[in-house]
Structure 1
Amino acid sequence: MAGRGSRLRPHTLTVPKPLIPIAGKPIVHRLVEDIAGVLDEKIDEIAFVIAEDFGPKVESDLKAIAESLGAKGTIYYQDKPLGTGHAIMCAKESLEGPAVIAYADTLFKADFTLDKEADGVIWVKQVENPEAFGVVNLNQNNEIVDLVEKPQEFVSDLAVIGIYYFKDVAVLKNELQGVLDKKLTRGGEYQINDGIQAMRASGLRFVPGKVDEWMDCGNKNVTVETNGRMLNFLHQEGKDLISKSVKIKNSEITEPCFIGENVELLNAKIGPNVSVGDGTKIENSTIKNSLIQNFSEIKNAKLDNAMIGNHAKFNGEFTQISIGDYSVLE
């Protein structure tokens, strides 16, 4: 999770993309909890690969996520954007035994039953435009026989979502070390796929895992969409997403919505598919399908498909907007 997330600017100018809240909880927090919830094994350690300039507050928050799941939290730094293989090797001291590796900008709903006979599992989702993704090719025994990045000719429609399981991740570490030693780069980056292909070439067996839902957080529009989808999932599960401390005056909430602590609503219509962070005040506004973070002030707004950061002020009649932290529109 070392990348800042340039496609999600301005929101990622002050907050790393994996810490952007979805339905009231940071992306990486949801991802870690979801993986922990579907793995039928105790998690000993969660290693986070971040940029050093994320700061001590981010590091302490990440360690707290791990500790809340009964695991040790470890922080590693990736100082240069040299690809997924390089990022994984930044955490090489933790690469022993069974492990899940995940990219921290993806959320999912899946059956995570592990094939204990396989040496590795790569989770995939059927997509309509496979040429935009890395895809897997399978043989008749449902084994992965190839990994192809953004194929120009049809290989399969099973896209790799960025979550992997290794029976012994030390084997991947050894193969990726070889990739680094040989300076085997693609577009100037070291890729996890080259380590996996080397494992396969040595006779190790990989199989696909299937996900029911794959939710991206790559840019503003898909992040707002993912927020709405997650709200619907949580609402269907019976989760109470509206804080008891919300102050409501002449306002209505159409669920599903997440409303944080000490939010004030005055002459407002909120929802559906809206997340509102702690301490935010909304007045004379209609908001749907939007994501608003903490301690912002919204007045005289009619918002749909909007994303507003922390400590922002908005006063107007714009409809589709994306403003970052400490911005003011009046």
Structure 2
Amino acid sequence: MSPTEERWRQAILPVKTSIQHAIRSLDQASIKIVMVVNEAGELEGTISDGDIRRGLLKGLDLSSPIASVIHRNALVVTPEMGRDVVLQLMGANKIQQIPIVNELRQVVGVHLWDEITTLPARSNLMIIMAGGMGTRLRPYTETCPKPLLPVAGKPMLEHIIERAKLEGFSHFVLAVHYLGHMIQSHFGNGGQLGVQIDYLNEKSPLGTAGALGLLSPRPGAPFVVTNGDVITDIHYGELLDFHIRHNAMATMAVRMHEWQHPFGVVQTRGIEIVGFEEKPVARSHINAGVYALEPDALNLLSQDAHCDMPTLFERLQAKAMRTVAYPMHEPWLDVGRPDDLNRANTENSN
């Protein structure tokens, strides 16, 4: 049991206990609230030091039951709720703790402001695919590899590494091919960015997954993979946590793409007109180019053999291994064309 889990478990009290017991629990758990549950284990509410003081001012004593001081409309969250949403709820409601409850309203944890605002270090590997030719970005990429093209004054790759570093990642592997020596010369071993950087050198282009077959030794834990031309505010750590929580072999970040038909659509059955739809909007999930994988997923790759990530997912599915989608809503841009590069510089200039 982790120290945090031990603390919040100490802070769970039955509804029939006394104020004196609640005070003792507040002192021992040191999370500034206790969580009160009924006989079915369901959360009835929370009690803070302030709730107890107000009860004592109303004439209650230490032997009084806690039922009359319970804050019964306590804000709670589910285990699936993301860190950003939890932070917003805690900040908007000026609270330092928020219980986590399951679908049965049983307490399964607690978010503490001091801990949720301090991201833990992650030993998991992050691999960045940076070997592409960038043909659609010519002439910019004739003398510079695409991941080194500047966005708001620094290379795209640097944005990705710094974003992941904020998420607690510190060990990166860059898969390089086209003008890869320029990338290695620029980043070196990562010391200037305060991280460790290693390299996979592709002898020929291996696609968006093929370079993973070059990993030696193989990772001993789940790892994150991202394309080197994706600028996004995605939380890589939350993607990894989602992947682990859902016991997946491979997880793909996806985002909703909407496309509006430029014309009114006529619906027919044979030659009969059965309906009209004026410029309908089609919605679909698209691959965002960011993934989380289990080490065993690498068993389906051959060394120095080309493979794109969708193909790897199809191979996993054919083996009845679980692949899941991670819906993302954060800003995202695949910098594949000159217009995309201009947009990235405009949007990241502030």
Normalised to the residue count of structure 1, the TM-score between the two structures is 0.52
Matches for 1:117-136 after TM superposition, within 5 Å? 117-118=245-246, 119=248, 120-129=250-259
Asked if 2 retains the 8 angstrom alpha-carbon contact of 1:86 and 1:190, the reply is yes
CA contact (8 A) 1:103 1:162 kept: yes
For residue 49 of structure 1, the aligned residue among 147, 152, 175 is 175
SS of match in other structure, 1:128: strand
After TM superposition, the structure 1 = structure 2 runs for residues 135-150 of structure 1, keeping only pairs within 5 Å, are none
Whole-angstrom distance in 1 between the partners of 2:185 and 2:205: 23
In proportion to residue count, which structure has more helix? 2
Q: Determine if the alignment matches structure 1 residue 63 to structure 2 residue 180.
A: no
Is contact 1:76–1:90 with CA below 8 Å preserved after alignment?
yes
1:86 shift after superposition: 1.8
CA 1:197/1:9 → structure 2, altered by over 3 Å: closer, same or farther?
same
Mark the CA change 1:109 to 1:42 in structure 2 (over 3 Å): closer, same or farther: closer
1:203 lines up with 2:321 in the alignment: yes
Q: Secondary structure at the match of 2:200?
A: strand
Partner of 1:160: 287
The alpha-carbon deviation at position 202 of structure 1 amounts to 2.9
Long gaps (5+) in structure 1: 131-153, 181-188, 236-330
1:98 corresponds to: 222
Secondary structure at 1:33 match in 2: helix
Which residue matches 1:18?
147
CA distances 1:64-114 after superposition (whole Å, capped 9, x unpaired) = 5x3345432111111212422322223354544221101101101224422
1:125/1:211 contact within 8 Å kept: yes
Structure 2 match to 1:30 = 159
Q: How big is the shift at 1:19?
A: 0.1
Shift of 1:127: 1.0
| In structure 2, C-alpha distance between the alignment counterparts of 1:177 and 1:227, rounded to whole Å | 38
Match of 2:60 in 1: none
1:35 maps to a residue whose letter is A
- The whole-number CA distance in structure 2 between the counterparts of 1:208 and 1:34 is 18
Code of the residue aligned with 1:123 in structure 2: it is A
For residues 75 and 203 of structure 1, do their structure 2 counterparts lie closer, same or farther at Cα, with a shift above 3 Å needed? closer
Q: Partner of 2:343 in structure 1?
A: 225
Equivalence for 2:196: 72
1:227 Cα shift?
A: 0.8
In the superposition, relative to structure 1, how do residues 13 and 171 fare at CA in structure 2: closer, same or farther (>3 Å)?
A: same
For 1:198 and 1:179, locate their aligned partners in 2 and report how far apart those are by CA, in whole Å. 17
Q: 1:53 to 1:18 in 2, by over 3 A?
A: closer
Corresponding residue for residue 242 of structure 1:
none
Residue number in structure 2 paired with 1:172 = 297
Q: What SS is found at the alignment partner of 2:313? A: helix
Code of the aligned partner of 1:99: F
TM (normalized to structure 2)? Answer: 0.50
More strand by share: 1
Partner SS, residue 157 of structure 1: strand
Which residue, out of 332, 336, 344, partners 1:214?
A: 332
Q: CA deviation at 1:12?
A: 0.9
Aligned residue for 2:287, secondary structure, equals strand
Counterparts of 2:192 and 2:255 in 1: how far apart (Å)?
29
How many residue pairs match? The answer is 195
Percent of paired sites with the same residue: 20
User: Runs of 5+ in structure 2 lacking a partner?
Assistant: 1-129, 261-280
Instruction: Flag the 1:19–1:9 CA change in 2: closer, same or farther, 3 A.
Output: same
Greater shift after overlay, 26-35 or 206-215?
206-215
- Tell me the C-alpha RMSD between the 2 structures: 3.0
Sort the Cα spacing of 1:158 and 1:179 in 2 relative to 1 into closer, same or farther, 3 A.
farther
Separation in structure 1 between the aligned mates of residue 338 and residue 303 of structure 2, nearest angstrom: 38
Q: Residue 30 of structure 1 aligns to which amino acid in structure 2?
A: H
